[in-house]
Amino acid sequence: MNDSKDEKQEINLLMVGDVVGRAGRHALRHWLPILRREFSLDLIVVNGENAAGGIGISNSVMREIFAAGADVITSGNHIWKFKEIFPSLQENPRLLRPHNYPEGAPGSGLIVVGVAGGLRIAVLNLLGRVFMGMVDCPFRVADHALSTLPLKQEVDAILVDFHAEATSEKMAMAHYLDGRVSAVLGTHTHVPTSDHRILAKGTAAMTDIGMTGPYDSIIGMQTAGVLQGILSGLPTRFEPAEGDVTLCGAILQVDRNNGLCRSITPLRRGGLLSATP
């Protein structure tokens, strides 16, 4: 990726999976500057869904993630945890909430970011409906959003963060948008999948890019509290785990000529999971 010829032909993007708590934020501060240099990244997108105490995102945490090197922060169903973030969604367009919340919700789930070389990169944040909540159809909302941003006419690349529970819904979205966006990357389930691939029409897909948090846990939470809740059936307070953190995500190489993906590489650095090259 560091070859000068490749830099002229490709847009290099990084999407980082759900950041969990203080430990996950610490990993961002360490790894993002290193990764930006190593992969000559044009844009870094971070899902901050669980960055504040394991659920939601606060104003101070938002600022911390941007300071660590994120260009755009995406989110999901926990974006409304802290009311203080509502005005920030209006004031900072680089902080996204899922675009398919009903009309009247503060903020937006779509942004176009200008990067070096005059490139324009769109980031679209969507929320699934299967096992989730009452939101507008993410497929129809994606259609409407993309109707104003045709690939290689209005923007040079389009990255979709699809925050969803069901693997089938994530796969369906990837196929539905194949050829219309650069990549559809799944978040929310906190477990990295091994199905990264380029679909028939050139869109990269991965069901879940994993979490950025301690994997000696239960999806980022201390095991004792989660097990107590499972075994007793009673309400239990979950606490974010500490310890060694694995930063998980995906590196994308997008063809500057057509906005479609040339390669997708899972990224794992630090912590307990085996590191990727």
Instruction: Give Cβ neighbours of residue 206 (< 8 Å, ≥ 6 apart).
Output: 183, 185, 186, 193, 195, 196, 197, 250, 264, 266
With beta carbons less than 8 A apart as the criterion, state whether 173 and 207 touch: no
Out of 26, 30, 78, 196, pick the active-site residue. Answer: 78
Q: Is 120 exposed, middle or buried (0-12, 13-18, 19+ CB in 10 A)?
A: middle
Q: Specify the length of the chain in residues.
A: 277
H helices present in 53-99, as ranges: 59-68, 85-91
Reply yes or no on whether 26 is catalytic: no
Give the count of beta carbons closer than 10 Å to the beta carbon of residue 126: 29
Give the rounded distance of the alpha carbon of 184 from its chain centre: 10
Pairing status of strand 213-214 against strand 204-206: unpaired
In the structure encoding, which two tokens stand for residue 264, read together? 């997708």
Query: What are the residue numbers of the active site?
Result: 78
